């Protein structure tokens, strides 16, 4: 047996409100929309990971999930322009990532990060 996919499910009173955050700002595709659930993602292959944490690092709360991007400055600008307030960062962390925390429309704390050259 092998794991083929991991999907994070976020409870939301307004499923459609997520489109602005995940599709419009982060550029994810709406892969499925059944009205009661919308799945946003990418057709590109991704690494399957689950983070188990006692804190979020640097004394921050554990985020509900993390999204790695190829251009952190563009993600930050998009979130700011869309009116999503940044709760932490942007900051260069000692373990080699640049990141910020923001809440999605359902209130989930999202860690948006970039590694290496993508962090600049």
Beta bridge partners of residue 117, listed in sequence order: none
- The answer on pLDDT for 91 being more than 70 is yes
Element at 76 (helix H, strand E): helix 72-81
Per residue in 110-119, pLDDT (tens digit) is 999 999 865 5
For the segment 17-26, the average pLDDT, to the nearest whole number, is: 97
Backbone angles phi, psi at 78, to 5 degrees: -65, -45
Q: What is the DSSP string of 23-70?
A: IIIT--EEEEE-SS-EEEE-SS---------SS-STTPPPPSEEEE-S
Please give the torsion angle defined by the CA atoms of residues 25, 28, 29 and 33, in that order, rounded to the nearest 10 degrees: -80
Q: What's the pTM value of the predicted model, to 2 decimals? A: 0.92
Average pLDDT on 57-76 reads 97
Average pLDDT over residues 32-54: 93
Residue 97: DSSP 8-state: E
Q: Which of the four pLDDT bands, split at 50, 70 and 90, describes residue 6? A: confident
């Amino acid at each position: 047996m092998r794991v083929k996919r991991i999907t994070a499910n976020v409870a939301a009173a307004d499923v459609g409100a997520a489109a602005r955050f995940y599709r419009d700002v982060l550029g994810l595709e709406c892969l499925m929309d059944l009205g009661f659930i919308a799945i946003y993602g990418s057709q590109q292959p991704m690494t399957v990971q689950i983070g188990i944490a006692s804190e979020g690092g640097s004394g921050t709360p554990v985020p509900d999930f993390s999204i790695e991007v190829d251009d952190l400055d563009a993600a930050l600008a998009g979130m700011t322009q869309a009116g999503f307030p940044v709760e932490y960062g942007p900051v260069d962390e000692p373990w080699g990532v640049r990141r910020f925390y923001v809440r999605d429309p359902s209130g989930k704390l999202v860690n948006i990060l970039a590694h290496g050259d993508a962090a600049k």
